[in-house]
Chain A
Amino acid sequence: MGVKNNFKLIFSYYKLNIKKEWKYKPSFFMQIAMMILNDLFFIIQWYIIFNLVDNIGGYGFNETMLLWAIAAGGFGVSHAFFGGAWNIKDIVYEGKLDVYLTQPKNVLLNVACSATDVSAIGDIFYVYVVLFLINAHWYWFLVIIPVIIMAGLIYVSVYVTFVSLCFYIKRGDAVAKSVEGTMNKAANYPPAIYNFVVRGLFFTLIPTFFYTFIPAQYFFLTPNVWWILISVVVTVLWVVLAFVSFKMGLKKYNSGNLMGGRL
């Protein structure tokens, strides 16, 4: 029941946020279209690189594009559905969390769902542009849906886990931004370029490989049920970690005694 209610909350928020943005239709469509165009530039980058080499550690053009698609989709899902997570720093430092605390829903979910980055919808569309471009199998178009949802959950959970440091220290978001930046950038490149130590880091503390590489490899290229299960478990663990970190941080929260309302 609780899970069902939370899903309802996520989609209600999403609908509301979209309605709000829909008021400025030209800006709404332009942001989505420009984001797709923005992402398309990277295809040219990889086209040039794969004119220089046939493959990078077994990853050719199509496989690398698949990594990009998953990364864009994960980023898109996280920012479209949980865009408010990126406001946590401001909400905590400015003492504006009170208004969320008084509401009968989970605080983190409430904050995370409260904003939508419209351009992120362009990232989600881009996933399908890439799949068409690489002439993907028909079932990839379906499998990609849970994959980008999981990638999105991992992405937002990692950010929330680290940004919860804001409850304890000044400028706690610096760590979260660094981790997010690393994950975002490293996820788009074939894993073979990384050495042993970095790979260890990308499997654990900064789960870049579970964000793109493991799904690309074991959901699509060489399906493996064990790795799929491990991916699901890792995603759940990161989501739990995000909720726990936020909840622990919440105990340190100081109200700004700011009167506020949410319309």
Chain B
Amino acid sequence: MNKYLNIYATSFKQESKTYANSLTSVVSFVVIIYIFQQLWRFIYGGNGGGTLINGYTINMMIWYMIMAEVLMYSVNARGVTRAFGNDIKSGKIAYQLNKPYNYYMYQVFSQLGEIMWKLVFLVPTGIIMGLVLLGPIQNFSVIYVLPLAISLLLAVVLTAVIYGTVGLLTFWIEEATPFTWIVQKFQMLFGLFFPPEFFPTWLQPIINYSPVYAMMSGPCKLMASFSWDLFLNVSISQIVYVAFFISLGLLIYKLGTKKVNVNGG
């Protein structure tokens, strides 16, 4: 485990040198929060008042969305997929096969280093924007900070693991990025844009048991309206899916390496 933590730390340090990229990401993050905030204000009618839409006040809705955008921006889905894809396509993976680590886990921890660095910027920016645009979350208590942080971390780990698994498809197909777009759109549609309550009742249980709930809607609902029951529910879902996708990734990697042709040289 130590070697993976070192990989994580190295990646974090390396990413911290690319402050300009982080700044770009923050600017884009601020713009999208502003756009969504304006859009939801319009939908709620003026300043929203006490209007409820599917059980959400405007305050809850926008805090939900801020958390969702933090999750979305912290993981560069295409970047994760490409990190795997480029190594496989260029043949660089041949150099990784004989290293004393599992390549799949190496990439996941390396990606987590980048993600954590982005969170250093995104979380404070999101909180400041929420406080400036809306004020504090209703009924929020300081003791919710730790469980929210745990939920956020599990969500980004799961997201990195899922997109990493998609990246491994490059063993079989020329370009896996289009699959990332589709997974990303599921994540956006059923997690980022709307909480599960905005969908037809027959669809809600499917969303609530899907990976999208663990990686997006669950933690965002916790942010909008925290409860310990919900925290337990979301955490179980996240742990189960992280274990499932890591196992799946390792299996796909094992199968994929059998397809690698090393020409030497």
Q: Is A171 an interface position by the 8 A CB rule?
A: yes
Asked, given contacts A52-B43, A52-B53, A174-B21, whether A193 binds B27 with beta carbons under 8 Å apart, the answer is no
Contacts of A198 in B (CB 8 A): 34
Q: Is B15 an interface position by the 8 A CB rule?
A: no
Contacts of A38 in B (CB 8 A): 178, 181-182, 185
23 A-B contact pairs sorted by A residue (CB < 8 Å): A26-B174, A27-B174, A27-B175, A33-B178, A34-B178, A37-B185, A38-B185, A41-B188, A45-B188, A56-B39, A119-B178, A177-B28, A178-B23, A178-B24, A178-B28, A182-B28, A185-B28, A185-B32, A186-B31, A189-B35, A189-B39, A193-B38, A198-B34
Asked, given contacts A171-B20, A174-B24, A182-B27, whether A27 binds B42 with beta carbons under 8 Å apart, the answer is no
Give a binary string over A84-125; 1 marks a CB under 8 Å from any B CB, 0 the rest: 000000000000000000000000000000000001000000
- Pick the most buried of A24, A57, A177, A192: most chain B CB atoms within 10 A of its CB: A177
Please report the C-alpha to C-alpha distance between residue A48 and residue B189 in the assembled complex, in whole angstroms: 10
Q: Is A30 an interface position by the 8 A CB rule?
A: yes
Q: Is B194 an interface position by the 8 A CB rule?
A: yes
Whether B189 lies near A193 (C-beta < 8 A) is: no
Q: Is B209 an interface position by the 8 A CB rule?
A: no
Q: Is A49 an interface position by the 8 A CB rule?
A: yes
Q: Report the count of interface residues on A (CB-CB < 8 A).
A: 35
Please report the C-alpha to C-alpha distance between residue A56 and residue B189 in the assembled complex, in whole angstroms: 20
A169 to chain B, nearest CB (A): 10
Contacts of B181 in A (CB 8 A): 34-35, 37-38
Asked, given contacts A48-B198, A53-B43, A181-B24, whether A27 binds B173 with beta carbons under 8 Å apart, the answer is yes
Q: Which B residues, 12 to 56, have Cβ-Cβ distances below 8 Å to chain A?
A: 20-21, 23-24, 27-28, 31-32, 34-35, 38-39, 41-43, 53
A226 to chain B, nearest CB (A): 28
Q: Is B253 an interface position by the 8 A CB rule?
A: no
Residue numbers of B with Cβ under 8 A of A are 20-21, 23-24, 27-28, 31-32, 34-35, 38-39, 41-43, 53, 173-175, 177-179, 181-182, 185-186, 188-189, 193-194, 198-199
Please report the C-alpha to C-alpha distance between residue A154 and residue B129 in the assembled complex, in whole angstroms: 31
Asked, given contacts A27-B174, A34-B182, A38-B181, whether A193 binds B42 with beta carbons under 8 Å apart, the answer is yes
Please report the C-alpha to C-alpha distance between residue A185 and residue B35 in the assembled complex, in whole angstroms: 8
Q: Give B181's nearest chain A residue, CB to CB.
A: A38
Please report the C-alpha to C-alpha distance between residue A182 and residue B26 in the assembled complex, in whole angstroms: 11
Q: Is A31 an interface position by the 8 A CB rule?
A: yes
Whether B31 lies near A44 (C-beta < 8 A) is: no
A211 to chain B, nearest CB (A): 15
Q: Is A194 an interface position by the 8 A CB rule?
A: yes
Of A30, A171, A194, the contact of B175 (CB 8 Å cutoff): A30
Contacts of A174 in B (CB 8 A): 20-21, 23-24
Whether A181 lies near B27 (C-beta < 8 A) is: yes
Known: A27-B173, A48-B198, A193-B42. 17 other contacts (CB 8 A): A26-B173, A30-B178, A34-B182, A35-B178, A41-B185, A41-B186, A41-B189, A45-B193, A48-B194, A49-B43, A119-B178, A174-B24, A178-B27, A178-B28, A182-B28, A189-B39, A193-B39
B82 to chain A, nearest CB (A): 14
Whether A44 lies near B189 (C-beta < 8 A) is: yes
Of A34, A56, A181, A185, the contact of B179 (CB 8 Å cutoff): A34
Q: Which A residues, 112 to 162, have Cβ-Cβ distances below 8 Å to chain B?
A: 119
Q: Which A residues, 1 to 60, have Cβ-Cβ distances below 8 Å to chain B?
A: 24, 26-27, 30-31, 33-35, 37-38, 41, 44-45, 48-49, 52-53, 56-57
Asked, given contacts A171-B20, A193-B39, whether A182 binds B31 with beta carbons under 8 Å apart, the answer is yes
Contacts of B174 in A (CB 8 A): 24, 26-27
Please report the C-alpha to C-alpha distance between residue A121 and residue B178 in the assembled complex, in whole angstroms: 13
